[in-house]
């Protein structure tokens, strides 16, 4: 982020974007969309975030496209954050960890999104695998969808919102880490005032910028003193400018500049 700018761009090849690019909703179009996005952005943005579901819907051949995208994006210097939102228990969570956080896996990524709402302890296989491989984990805390509040804002037995319980677990995992810890939180940029303590000493992935209505200027209001640790995420706001490589790059550069401006006067809490 210090070198390339504070921006994460999603790779979300859903049907409407494929259509907007003049492509069909088929495997060849998926491959072209993904290859163009990686070519345009992987050597200049800090983070690329493929949404695995849009590749999985094409079966094994779609997953093969995803594997290639991960490989090429990392080779070009981008960090790859796999947006998989996996969450399970025991051996199943261990299998998810091996899929995304084992260096021998074809889907090995620099980080993966996970859901803690089977209990934070259920994430232990992913946390341990990330520590071994030098990767990271982004834990869903307060998501940008309005339905999330019925779970994430529920009050725990000790009076804390459930999201705060998860944030406190993240902070404990990161305690003692230099700069930022490798366990991040997902906190939606659309929330207005998050209303929780975001001092987790880790990165804060902020989806919701662009098509979901949030702007870079909203970030200080949501994240307060922690805004310097935010990884703002935009997908359609950049991708809708395709299929031209130059236009994709220009859109990403504009968002990066806007984010830099929004956080320029914020304190560095790292």
Q: What is the pLDDT of residues 188-237, one digit of tens each?
A: 998 887 789 999 999 999 998 877 788 999 999 999 989 999 999 999 99
- With respect to residue 1, please indicate whether it lies within any of the assigned structural domains: no
Q: What is the pLDDT of residues 157-180, one digit of tens each?
A: 999 999 999 999 999 999 999 989
Percent of the chain with pLDDT over 90: 87
* Position 269 pLDDT exceeds 50: no
Of 68-82, 99-113, 117-131, 201-215, least confident by mean pLDDT is 201-215
Rounded to whole angstroms, the Cα distance separating 208 from 216 reads 10
Instruction: For the chain, give the mean pLDDT.
Output: 94
Q: For 143-169, what is the mean pLDDT?
A: 93
- With respect to residue 2, please indicate whether it lies within any of the assigned structural domains: no
For 49, the domain range is 8-263
Rounded to whole angstroms, the Cα distance separating 201 from 181 reads 6
Quick check: 41 and 248 in contact, CB under 8 A? yes
Residues known to be catalytic: 85
Tell me the CA distances in angstroms from 136 to 63, 93, 204, 255, one per residue in order.
21, 15, 12, 24
Q: For 71-87, what is the mean pLDDT?
A: 98
* Position 268 pLDDT exceeds 60: no
- With respect to residue 138, please indicate whether it lies within any of the assigned structural domains: yes
CA dihedral 265, 209, 152, 47 (to 10 degrees): -80
Tell me the CA distances in angstroms from 111 to 137, 179, 214, one per residue in order.
5, 17, 24
Most confident of the following: 38-42, 148-152, 188-192: 38-42
Q: What is the pLDDT of residue 270?
A: 43
Rounded to whole angstroms, the Cα distance separating 81 from 237 reads 18
Q: At what angle do helices 124-133 and 90-101 cross, to 10 degrees?
A: 30
- With respect to residue 217, please indicate whether it lies within any of the assigned structural domains: yes
- With respect to residue 140, please indicate whether it lies within any of the assigned structural domains: yes
* Position 31 pLDDT exceeds 90: yes
CB burial of residue 84 (10 Å; 0-12, 13-18, 19+)? buried
- Domain at 159, CATH number: 3.20.20.70
Q: Which residue has the tokens 């070519």?
A: 39
Strand-strand pairing, 111-114 and 79-86: parallel
Report how many domains make up the chain: 1
Rounded to whole angstroms, the Cα distance separating 187 from 170 reads 13
* Position 98 pLDDT exceeds 50: yes
Rounded to whole angstroms, the Cα distance separating 217 from 209 reads 10
- With respect to residue 230, please indicate whether it lies within any of the assigned structural domains: yes
- With respect to residue 3, please indicate whether it lies within any of the assigned structural domains: no
Q: What is the pLDDT of residue 195?
A: 85
- With respect to residue 167, please indicate whether it lies within any of the assigned structural domains: yes
Bridge partners (DSSP) listed for residue 8 = 47, 233
């Amino acid at each position: 982020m210090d070198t390339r700018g504070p921006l994460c761009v999603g790779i979300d090849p859903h049907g409407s974007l494929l259509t907007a690019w003049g492509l069909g909703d088929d495997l060849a179009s998926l491959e072209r969309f993904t290859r163009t996005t990686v070519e345009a952005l992987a050597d200049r943005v800090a983070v690329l975030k493929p949404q695995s579901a849009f590749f999985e819907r094409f079966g094994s051949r779609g997953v093969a496209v995803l594997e290639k995208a991960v490989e090429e994006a990392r080779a070009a210097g981008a960090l790859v954050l796999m947006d998989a939102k996996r969450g399970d228990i025991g051996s199943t969570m261990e299998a998810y960890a091996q899929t995304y956080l084992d260096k021998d896996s074809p889907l090995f990524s620099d980080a993966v999104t996970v859901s803690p709402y089977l209990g934070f302890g259920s994430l232990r296989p992913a946390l341990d695998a990330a520590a071994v491989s030098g990767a990271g984990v982004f834990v869903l805390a307060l998501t940008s969808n309005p339905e999330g509040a019925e779970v994430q804002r529920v009050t725990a037995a000790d009076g804390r919102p459930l999201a705060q319980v998860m944030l406190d677990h993240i902070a404990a995992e990161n305690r003692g880490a230099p700069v930022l810890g490798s366990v991040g939180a997902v906190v939606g940029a659309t929330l207005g005032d998050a209303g929780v303590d975001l001092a987790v000493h880790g990165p804060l992935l902020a989806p919701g910028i662009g098509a979901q209505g949030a702007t870079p200027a909203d970030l200080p209001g949501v994240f307060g003193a922690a805004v310097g640790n935010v990884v703002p995420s935009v997908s359609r706001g950049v991708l809708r400018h395709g299929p031209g490589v130059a236009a994709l790059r220009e859109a990403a550069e504009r968002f990066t500049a806007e984010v830099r401006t929004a956080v320029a006067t914020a304190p560095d809490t790292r």
